Amino acid sequence: MRRSRRTRIVATLGPASSDAPMIERLFEAGADVFRINMSHTPHDKMRDFVAAIRGIEKAVDRPIAILADLQGPKLRLGTFAKGKEDLKQGQSFILDADPKPGDSKRVHLPHPEILEALEVGHALLVDDGKVRLVIKEASPTRAVTEVVVAGTVSDRKGVSVPDTVIPVSAMTPKDRSDLDAALGAGVDWIAVSFVQRPEDVAEVKKAARGRAGVMAKIEKPQGVERLEEIMELADGVMVARGDLGVELPLERVPGIQKRITRMARRFGKPVVVATQMLESMITSPVPTRAEVSDVSAAIFEGTDAIMLSAESAAGKYPVEAVAMMNKIACEVERDRTYRGVIANQQPESDGTGADAIADAARVIAEDLDMAAIVCWTSTGSTALRVARERPKPPVVALSPNLSTARRLALSWGVHAMRADDARDLEDMVERSCLTTVAEGFAEPGDRLIVVMGVPLGTPGATNTLRIARVPRN
């Protein structure tokens, strides 16, 4: 089973998509990757999701990627004696280390490390920015703030600190437990929330030990500031526009999205654009025109994947939301301007032999109107290098490692399959021809480019390309 579009679709699983028949319907509608939100998913349910997806994968004989999204360090207020309080603009309000229930003048902030890190002038955003506080006095046990944007605060509401570097790991004890369970279940990608520094990614990669790709979610100003360092270390990135739009002015988010997607392409790493893409489809069978334009803009930008969150996890129309994503992506990629926009964003070569081979494969395949570019890859790096070039012909990735094929299901334009190691170069070319015909990418008489590393089976050694013609008999 193959997709005709290059952009991938990530669908989040949840109450509206919790059983195998519904997950299968989402796959048939166009989902390539399934996201499991560990904030809301117990380990037993996560394992049920993985088992259902692997069953579908076996039935359709096509690798499907599974992304486990760690919750990260969630900051929350303590409780109030009355459950909630209305704060007025200009009033003083205190956050302190006292665990007693709060009132209209103060409340407990059960994060001593945050109180120690706050400085005068720093902002605190409560309940996704509905209430905004600015620090006037700061000490290790209390912070006196002024209410700049008034509103209601209530028990356990979330707190964001956009100006403050959180002096804690991106992994909480819950995340460590969730990570172990997800890796044990055999997920393909781990998403790390609230990444501020490259060390946050390194910590998860050390724990994962290559068993899953590690995706850095960019949703804090500190992560944006150190984006290039984070990108070098991560296996992929996510533009997490929800929290990014809380901690930064909303008008900055589109520009940051472009910066992240273009940098990810330069690094040759998958990038996912997420949050509120078809938000209205949580309750409506059709999206707004603005949402369609938003999704289209991400596709024109050349993002690897677009993601549905509550739309597929808890909405009334999960299948329709995935199908709409699929229709938008197919239409954009058919648009006469699409190839020109993608070509104008072509990144500069890194000056390595492997990148030169990938660029040459794209140029030759497009100039000679070849049916496909076939990449033999052990770790996935060959296919990622070719996908970075955003070639017009489809990219078929053949790997002896099923885990590699699954991870590549997230990458732009890559049709990944598991295949036994080739005996030699001629076997590799012959099987490339047979596979592309069997998968519907080529017909007898068509020409292909086969990209590989020699000696065969050497990870990261992309150094050879071969033009082949599919036999007519």
**CA atoms within a 13 Å half-sphere pointing along the CA-CB vector of 318:** 26
Strands 8-13 and 131-138: unpaired
Q: Which one of 6, 217, 265, 362 is the catalytic residue?
A: 217
**What is the bridge-based pairing of β-strands 395-399 and 372-376?**
parallel
- Distance between alpha carbon 446 and the CA centroid of its chain, in Å? 35
* Amino acid making up residue 223: G
d(CA 108, CA 98): 6
**Who contacts 39 (Cβ-Cβ below 8 Å, separation ≥6)?**
69, 71, 74
Q: Which residues contact 317 (CB under 8 A, 6 or more apart)?
A: 281, 282, 284, 285, 311
Tell me how long the chain is.
Answer: 473
Angle ∠(188,191,195) on CA atoms, nearest 5 = 150
* Residue written as token pair 């660029």: 359
Query: Per the residue annotation, which of 79, 275, 303, 462 is the catalytic one?
Result: 275
pLDDT score at 457: 62
Instruction: Report pLDDT digits (tens) over 340-398.
Output: 999 998 888 777 888 899 999 999 999 999 999 999 999 999 999 999 999 999 999 99
**Cβ atoms 145, 120 nearer than 8 A:** no
CA dihedral (331, 413, 236, 175) positive or negative: positive
Q: Of 350 and 319, which is predicted with more confidence? A: 319
Could you give the C-alpha distances from 129 to 104, 244, 275, 451, in angstroms and in order?
Answer: 18, 11, 16, 50
d(CA 112, CA 300): 44
User: Is residue 82 flagged as an active site residue?
Assistant: no
Please check the confidence at residue 1 and state whether its pLDDT lies above 70: no
CA dist 171 to 73, 182, 210, 372, Å?
Answer: 7, 14, 18, 41
Residue 425's H or E segment, with its range, is helix 425-438
Q: Do the Cβ atoms of 218 and 272 come closer than 8 Å?
A: no
Between 2-16, 69-83, 339-353, 399-413, the lowest mean confidence (pLDDT) is in 339-353
Q: Are 246 and 159 in contact (CB under 8 A)?
A: no
Residue 184 tokens read as 């044990």
Closest CA to 293 of 304, 284, 282, 306: 306
Q: Which of the four pLDDT bands, split at 50, 70 and 90, describes residue 460? A: low
* 275 in active site: yes
Question: What span, in angstroms and rounded, lies between the C-alpha atoms of 123 and 400?
Answer: 51
Query: Is 289 tagged catalytic?
Result: no
User: What is this structure's pTM?
Assistant: 0.93
Over residues 176-202, the mean pLDDT reads: 97
Q: β-strands 92-96, 106-108: how paired?
A: parallel
**Pick from 410, 416, 190: nearest CA to 306:** 410
Structure tokens at 472: 């007519």
Q: Is 74 a catalytic residue?
A: no
Band (pLDDT 50/70/90 cuts) for residue 459 is low
Could you give the C-alpha distances from 154 to 40, 77, 84, 141, in angstroms and in order?
Answer: 21, 8, 4, 21
pLDDT value of residue 423: 86
Helices (H), ranges, 186-240: 198-208, 221-225, 227-233
Name residue 335's amino acid: D
Q: How far is CA 121 from CA 75, 114, 309, 310, in A?
A: 19, 14, 34, 35
Q: Decide if 250 contacts 223 (C-beta within 8 A).
A: no
**Lowest mean pLDDT, pick from 283-287, 366-370, 442-446, 449-453:** 449-453
**Could you give the 3-state DSSP secondary structure of residue 389?**
coil
| Three-state SS at 126 | strand
Contacts of 339 by beta carbon, 8 Å cutoff, 6+ apart: 392
Which two structure tokens, joined as six digits, stand for 418?
Answer: 């598991």
Where do the domains of the chain lie, and which CATH numbers do they carry?
8-72+169-337 (3.20.20.60), 84-160 (2.40.33.10), 353-469 (3.40.1380.20)
Tell me the backbone φ, ψ of residue 260, rounded to 5 degrees. -70, -45
Between 453 and 189, the more confident residue is: 189
